[in-house]
Homo-oligomer: A and B are copies of this chain.
């Protein structure tokens, strides 16, 4: 797999300008709308049961994020997710805080049972929880995780026939067979809220532009974490803190192009876990 294959998908996002329908939390909803624009997509946020199916009918992809889940939101997600499946558009699920409360864990299980999700993206604890392993989830942050995250991701990907993305210092992207590790990113990405949620929006931008969701996910994660790197070190000068990092990160995402991605990408393909 050539780096350029991944890098050039960003051009396709900007040509297609996919409409990315989000049902998401109110903490980071503004950030998700902005990063979608800066990546090259068009965001739409709609969560009323009266309109989610019709809005999915216009959309190129659907992003579901359970960061501020309510029972009525679960109902809207199920309606929208099933409609996305009927239309054959990709569905990205961000299981924020799965494992922290029964309500979140059960709701995610139900969504995964009733909706064929294309890409599941979470931190190591969330993914381990969904893979059926013990993990400490502290609020919405990953705590101690016993399991090997690559193996947990591969297990979950096979269970669900989906692509799984595990975020962290190294990001892992697997469909259960092919597994890539991306070593891009910047420590400042962990110092602001919304980095995880925005990553799901970027996956929602890339998913409609490639037939192979694993390629789309590797490309999205690489582009996004390189924007983080550039945002953290604009002009060789570090952002002074998380406040200045955030807008530099947005500038970097909007100014990103295939050349910069090809130059900076640190993608390693890893062999399948022998235990699988």
Q: Kindly state the separation between the CA atoms of A120 and B136 in the bound complex, as whole angstroms.
A: 32
**Please, which residue of chain B has its CB at the minimum distance from the CB of A44?**
B139
Q: Kindly state the separation between the CA atoms of A67 and B45 in the bound complex, as whole angstroms.
A: 8
Q: Which residues of B contact A38 (CB under 8 A)?
A: 191, 241-243
Secondary structure of the A side of the interface?
mixed
Q: Kindly state the separation between the CA atoms of A97 and B59 in the bound complex, as whole angstroms.
A: 13
Q: Which residues of B contact A192 (CB under 8 A)?
A: 34, 37
Q: Does A125 contact B (CB under 8 A)?
A: no
Q: Kindly state the separation between the CA atoms of A170 and B189 in the bound complex, as whole angstroms.
A: 35
Q: Which segment of A84-92, A101-109, A153-161, A257-265 sits at the interface?
A: A101-109
Interface string of A42-61 (1 = CB under 8 A from B): 11111110110011001100
**Please, which residue of chain B has its CB at the minimum distance from the CB of A255?**
B241
Q: Which residues of B contact A55 (CB under 8 A)?
A: 100-101, 139
Q: Kindly state the separation between the CA atoms of A255 and B55 in the bound complex, as whole angstroms.
A: 39
Task: Assign chain A's interface to a size class.
Answer: 35 or more
- Assembly of this chain: how many copies? 3
Q: Which segment of A68-76, A110-118, A267-275 sits at the interface?
A: A68-76
Q: Which residues of B contact A58 (CB under 8 A)?
A: 100, 138-139
Contact between B139 and A51, CB atoms less than 8 A apart: no
For this complex, 18 residue pairs linking A to B, each with C-beta atoms less than 8 Å apart, are A19-B138, A26-B26, A30-B30, A34-B193, A37-B193, A38-B241, A44-B100, A47-B68, A51-B103, A51-B104, A55-B101, A55-B139, A58-B138, A191-B254, A241-B254, A242-B254, A243-B249, A244-B247
**Chain A positions near chain B (C-beta within 8 angstroms):** 19, 21, 25-31, 33-34, 37-38, 42-48, 50-51, 54-55, 58-59, 67-71, 97, 100-104, 138-141, 191-194, 240-244, 246-252, 254-255
Question: Besides A37-B193, A51-B102, A241-B250, 20 other CB < 8 A contacts?
Answer: A19-B138, A30-B30, A37-B191, A38-B243, A44-B140, A45-B67, A46-B68, A46-B97, A47-B68, A51-B101, A54-B103, A55-B139, A240-B251, A242-B250, A242-B254, A243-B248, A243-B250, A243-B254, A244-B247, A244-B251
